[in-house]
Amino acid sequence: MDSSSSSCSFEVHASSNVNQATQTDITYMDRIFYEAAVEGMIETFKDNKEPLQHILTPNKNTVLHVHLITTESELSKLSCKEFVKECMGLVYFAEESKSLSTNFVGEILDMCPPLLWQSNAKYETPLHIAARYGHTTIVKVLIERGKSPHQEPESGSNAAREMLRMTNVVKDTALHEAVRYNHHEVVKLLLAEDPDFSYSANDAGETPLYMAAERKFPNLVSEILCTCSSPAYGGPLGRTVLHAAVIWDDEG
C-alpha cells in the first residue's frame, strides 16, 4: 500500500467514532483529490467543478489541511542511504519544496478564499496545522491572506488577529501549537502579529507561556515575555509559570 492510500485509510479509521451520531455528516475525499493535495498538484483542482470547500476527508480536512499535514513529512521520506547520497543537495531540496508548497497554498486560496478559515472535525484551521508543523513561510502566507479585504470574517489586520485567536476542540490556538513543538520562528511571527492579546489556557489548563516554561524552552519563554504586553502566566491545577520554573531549576 502506498503512503497516500495508508493516509486515507488512517483517516477513515481515526474518524470512525467522530460521526457516529450523525451518519449524514460522513464525508469522503476522492483519492485523486487526496493525492493531488499531498503532491501539491494544483492543476487537478483547476479542472474541478465541485466547490473546494465541499471536498472533505472523513475528518473534515480540506485539501489545504491535507497538503499542510503531509508536507511536513516530505524530507523524512528519504532513507538513510538516500540521505547520505543527497546530503550535498539537501538544503536546495528543502528550499525548493518549501517554495512549491507555498505556491500551492497561495493558488488554492486564490481559487477558494474560504478555505483559509475552514476548520476540520477538531476545529483546526490551516493556521493551526501550519503552526504545529513549523511551516514558517506558509504561516506568513496565511496571515497575509487573513489581512486581505475579501477574506472572512472581517477585513484588514483585525481579521488576521481573529484567525490567530481561533481555538480548536481542546482550546489550543495556533500559538499553543507552535510552542508545544518548539517552533521558534513561528512563535515570533504569531506574537508579532498580535502582541496585545493575552492567550488564555487550553482545556489542559496550559497557557502558551506555561507550556514553554514547563517544556524547558527558554527561548520561547523569553520571546513571549519580551513581546506580549500582558502574557497569561497560568497553568494546570493552580500552578503558574513560576512553579514550572522552580521544577525546571530543581531538575538541573
From the centroid of its chain, how far is CA 101? 14
Angle between helices 31-39 and 63-71 (to 10 degrees): 50
C-alpha cell at 66: 491535507
- Kindly give the confidence (pLDDT) of every residue in the chain, 252 residues in length, as a single tens digit, with 9 standing for 90 and above: 444 443 443 343 334 333 333 344 567 899 999 999 999 999 999 989 899 999 999 999 999 999 999 885 444 443 444 434 444 444 443 454 555 689 999 999 999 999 999 999 999 999 999 999 999 999 999 999 999 865 555 455 688 999 999 999 999 999 999 999 999 999 999 999 999 999 999 999 999 999 998 899 999 999 999 999 988 877 665 666 554 554 555 455
Q: What is the pLDDT of residue 228?
A: 92
Enter the C-alpha cell of residue 102: 507555498
Q: Residue 37 is which amino acid?
A: A
95: amino acid identity, one letter: E
* Residue given cell 478555505 in the structure block: 115
Of residues 73, 77, 55, 74, the one with CA closest to residue 64: 55
Q: Detail the DSSP E strand segments found in 57-101.
A: none
Q: What are phi and psi of 234, to 5 degrees?
A: -70, 155
Query: 167 is written with which cell numbers?
Result: 481555538
**Residue 198 CB: number of other CB atoms within 10 A?**
12
- Nearest one of 203, 194, 113 to 161, comparing CA atoms: 194
Give me the CATH code for the 3-196 domain, please: 1.25.40.20
Name the DSSP letter for residue 182. T
Q: What is the DSSP letter of 101?
A: H
Among 108, 86, 92, 95, smallest CA distance to 37 is for: 108
The x, y and z cell numbers of residue 131, run together, are 503552526
Rounded to whole angstroms, how far apart are CA atoms 26 and 4?
A: 20
Domain ranges of the chain: 3-196
Angle separating helix axes 3-14 and 31-39, nearest 10 degrees: 120
pLDDT of residue 80: 41
Whether the link from the prior residue into 149 is cis, omega within 30° of 0, is no
- Structure-block grid coordinates of residue 43: 492543476
